[in-house]
A and B are shown apart, each in its own frame.
Chain A
Amino acid sequence: MLFPWGRIPAPGREQLSEELERTTRDARLSRGLGRSYGDSSLPARSDDKVVGTRLANRILHFDPETQVLRAEAGFTLLELNRLFMPRGFFSPVTPGTQFVTLGGMVASDVHGKNHHVAGCFGAHVRALRIRLADNRIVDCSPSVEPELFFGSIGGMGLLGHILEVEFRLDRIPSPWIWMEARRVPDIDAYLAALSEGASRWPMTMGWIDCVSGGRALGRGIMMAGRWLEPDEAPRAGPRVPKALTVPFEFPSFAINPLTVKLFNIAYYWKQLPLKVEKRVAPAPFFYPLDAVLEWNRLYGPRGFTQYQCVIPRAAGAPAVRKFMELLTRLGGASPLCVIKDCGQEGQGLLSFPLEGTSIAVDIAVTPRIQPLVDALNEYVIGVGGRVYLTKDRFTRPEHFRAMEPRLERFQQARDRWDPERRLRSAQSVRLLGDRL
């Protein structure tokens, strides 16, 4: 069995290997640490050859002058941070967990708190080495085989197996963050705060209460941050705290409307002052959930999904408010709902973000999940938004086509690089019509 982060597994086995050039031969899918929530890292059939890349984790080259790092696809962000943060370098873009591989970061074209200024991870990638479906190995970049390059960025591994990734690290002035957290009373104030924050802070995002309705609809805690300058930061780097682990799978009823409601109220009032400013370590700022290993066990055996969509700026603040109304009305109860202001769309053929507001909600899998996702998708299609494939498990193919005008272009790229559709995942069969 192979498990994604949402814990709904598929039969299959991954072949771990230190030598991707050897093992990816005739493979149909590569997966890193299996942190995508839905079915993008799961095989379409149990006998499909799936390569696990996490042992292929060598740094191939790093030049501190140009800040360019080249590494094998299984090199993790955790290692990158551990080794390079003390030396004054940081990934130009980081998602909300460190437990991801470079290959996965490219395939998902991950975004982070700095999307409004830095774009997605793919915008910082200079070159990729890729194993194609016909077993050739090709080096590509924005100028060499650009279709393969931009199709692989956010392409969920469907154009080729990512073997090596070359990208440019950021220099950071210190390994400490200055953070501001503000309690925001409702969704309109929230959107205003996000937009105002984006002009002043390089990093913004927030937690949003998606249970309370009425006047409290969309209230939450907005966070903003920047790296501390050397003269403001303590001499010593932050200590790495020991992570806790959820020791066993909770029963499915542990997360229910009541506990979610209580969690949301407690989380909102956890911060009593309207505004808190303080120095924090990067780990709790960027990766608050990494402090609890295997937290997905809290959802129990039924598993969960994350619904993440982006609502374009053009649709305006009322569209976000309506989405939140719909979400609270349909009871998409979630302890964790994250809102983020996105910058411009990147160049990845299927890359998720576009200029607007991204909202991500964890939802336990219940019999009501399909109609809930359908209803949210129908709304998102209406306002010209789209969903994030890395999180998706329940979107219908016709809905995906309707929200993704770029799909045809992506399929054309696949026609050229993998006309027989040898590369596939459970997700590509579900959403892109790949045959079993």
Chain B
Amino acid sequence: MKVVLLGATTGMGRAMARILAERGESLFLLGHEPEALERSAADLEARHAQRVRVGTAVCDLERPETFASGLDAADAALGGFDTVIVTAALFATQEVLEQDLELTRRLLTVNYAHTVLFCEHVRRRLLARGGGQLTVFSSVAGDRGRKPVVLYGSSKAGLSAYLEGLDHKFQAQGLSVLCVKPGFVKTGMTAGLKPPPFAGEPEAVAQQVLAAMGRRQALVYTPSIWRLVMLVIRHLPRSVMRRIGF
């Protein structure tokens, strides 16, 4: 595999990159902070006695003008990538977002509009070379409008719908799209929040997502228990959703 990762300097993306490096796959890291990218690339190389080379380039989900140049750099370094994994996103709690319109604008733009735009760049390139794999981290928060994630969840709902459509339309042409819906995972992104029951660890999530990619699945909930949790949540009547805090 020749894998491009957007957002692999932290959290679940970091865990994915480590497993892929251990498998000996060729990697290229995209992200918005050059120093963080270099530290992560150095980490991946040092873990495997410099047997893997990990290139980096700046690609910032807040600046769509960096998408083409970032992917060009990845293509050049890898000799044409066949897999793209997107874990980057913005997160803030509902309370914070309700007080901050500018942050809300940024979060909605990054998580929905710009992530979709980035995926469109990737889609064109992968289809032009006969297909490939696109894995994007959405969220269980997009499965139903809920009090604690009204704004964040809506950005992920849009993203999930896009990824589902992409799979329907292009699967036959060799583009394999995986929409990942993590529940609560203990990473820096959720730092400061109280972990609910069945909170996941990034390494276990990464293993599960890579297994789903291997099976060419289109959708995966992780940790798996969230599939059941969200099945219930999706079927709760409105009168109940108005009353509960979840």
Contacts and interface: CB of A to CB of B under 8 A. Distances in A.
Given A16-B186, A18-B10, A18-B14, A59 B46 contact: yes
Interface residues of A, number: 16
B124 interface: no
B13 to A, nearest CB: 10
B196 interface: no
B43 A58 contact: yes
B204 interface: no
A368 interface: no
Interface stretch (B115-123, B187-195, B212-220): B187-195
B135 interface: no
Contacts of B127: none
Interface stretch (A60-68, A173-181, A188-196, A237-245): A60-68
Given A13-B194, A64-B49, A18 B43 contact: no
Interface string B21-54: 0000000000000001001101100111100000
Contacts of A87: 49
B222 interface: no
Given A59-B47, A60-B43, A17 B188 contact: yes
A199 interface: no
B9 interface: yes
A340 B187 CA distance: 39
A13 B10 CA distance: 21
A19 interface: yes
- B-side interface mostly: helix
A15 B192 contact: yes
Given A64-B49, A87-B49, A16 B43 contact: no
A336 B43 CA distance: 38
A59 B42 contact: yes
Contact of A16 (B14, B47, B48, B188): B188
Interface string A64-100: 1000000000000000000100010000000000000
B42 A61 contact: yes
A87 B186 CA distance: 31
Nearest to B48: A83
Contacts of A83: 47-48
A165 to B, nearest CB: 14
A23 interface: yes
15 contacts: A13-B192, A18-B10, A18-B188, A19-B36, A23-B191, A55-B188, A58-B39, A58-B40, A59-B43, A59-B46, A60-B43, A60-B46, A62-B46, A83-B47, A87-B49
Q: Sorted from nearest, which 3 A-B pairs have the closest CB atoms?
A: A58-B43, A59-B46, A18-B10
Given A19-B188, A55-B202, 7 more contacts: A16-B186, A17-B188, A18-B187, A23-B188, A23-B191, A59-B43, A62-B46
